[in-house]
Amino acid sequence: MNIIEAINNRHSVRRYTDKKIDENIKSELLETINECNKEGDLNIQLCTEEPKAFDSFIAHYGKFNNVRNYISIVGKKGKDFYEKCGYYGEKIVIKATQLGLNTCWVALTFSKANTICEVKDGEKLCCVIALGYGETQGVAHKSKPIEQLCKVNGEMPDWFKKGMEAAALAPTAMNQQKFLISLEGNKVNAKALTAFYSKLDLGIVKYHFEVGAGKENFEYF
């Protein structure tokens, strides 16, 4: 499964089986996590066979069941903190999808106090990503037409359209899709609109857009 196929196949899953994650798959996932930590100056951690973070009323309220594995998105506080967490977290999510795992971004409906990740001075736990083998593969979320998610002066180039199609598939909080991607020439501006967790969402969206559009085709402004 290539990255585009993984983007198309990834759906949020909240209910998981008891199947343990194979050690070889863990190793491949950790390679990607380490790469993201190095590139993004983050402290993302893989937490396995640890059910307490999702063994609470709030997690059950969020309809999570049997979550025993998760990725803790941890990093240094700063103005681009949420965007970086979204960007690199989604890169890991897509790798997990390629490895046959199911995932779900979780910002509120888990117990931060019971997570086993390490948060150093100056760092913050942004959110977690539930991980494992789902009872189902999930379902596609409803998406706005790409024309409502972008602004283009003139005709939309094919590479930009592919980028927008991938961006429209990005998971966002409450499926709100509160972002706008603008094109002028070969320059792209991606911004978060005012909404709950929209800066985190923007990082996720930008990763999808770059995969679909090809980073060689544009530059940000």
- Predicted confidence (pLDDT) per residue in 1-43, tens digit: 999 999 999 999 999 999 999 999 999 999 999 999 999 999 9
Mean pLDDT for the chain?
96
Q: Do 115 and 156 belong to one domain?
A: no
Give yes or no: residues 106 and 23 share one domain: yes
Question: Total domain count for the chain?
Answer: 2
Domain boundary among 132, 154, 175: 132
pLDDT greater at residue 59 or residue 163: 163
Could you give the CA distance from residue 144 to residue 103 in angstroms, rounded to a whole number?
22
Contact call for residues 215 and 159 (beta carbons, < 8 A): no
35 in a structural domain: yes
Q: Are residues 126 and 181 in the same domain?
A: no
- Statement: residue 79 has pLDDT above 80: yes
How far is Cα 42 from Cα 34, in angstroms, rounded to an integer?
Answer: 9
Whether residue 221 lies inside any domain: the answer is: no
19 and 126 assigned to the same domain? yes
Q: What pLDDT is recorded for position 120?
A: 97
pLDDT, tens only, 111-165: 999 999 999 999 999 999 999 999 999 999 999 999 999 999 889 999 999 999 9
Q: What is the DSSP track for 169-199? A: TS--GGG---EEEEEETTEEEEEE-SSTTHH
- Same domain for 116 and 92, yes or no, is yes
pTM across the whole model: 0.97
DSSP state of 48: -
Residues 120 and 180 in one domain: no
Do 97 and 64 belong to one domain?
Answer: yes
If asked whether residues 43 and 93 sit together in one domain, one would say yes
Same domain, 95 and 181: no
CA 7 vs CA 10, 61, 81, 90, 221: distances in Å: 5, 27, 23, 10, 25
Q: In this structure, is residue 181 part of a structural domain?
A: yes
Taken in order 76, 205, 70, 60, is the CA torsion positive or negative? positive
The residue segments making up the domain with residue 70 are 3-132
Q: Is residue 30 one of the residues assigned to a domain?
A: yes
**pLDDT band with cut points at 50, 70 and 90 for residue 56:** confident
Based on its alpha-carbon atoms, the radius of gyration of the chain, rounded to whole angstroms, reads: 17
Residues 35 and 70 in one domain: yes
Residue 137 lies in a domain: no
Q: Are residues 122 and 153 in the same domain?
A: no
Q: Is residue 138 part of a domain?
A: no
Does 139 map to a domain? no
Among 101, 132, 163, the domain boundary falls at 132
> Where is the domain boundary, 82, 109, 132?
132
User: Do both 184 and 119 map to the same domain?
Assistant: no
CATH number at residue 33: 3.40.109.10
Collapse the DSSP code of 61 into the 3-class scheme (helix H, G, I; strand E, B; otherwise coil) and give the result: helix
Q: Tell me the C-alpha distance between 119 and 138, whole Å.
A: 31
Is residue 196 included in any domain, yes or no? yes
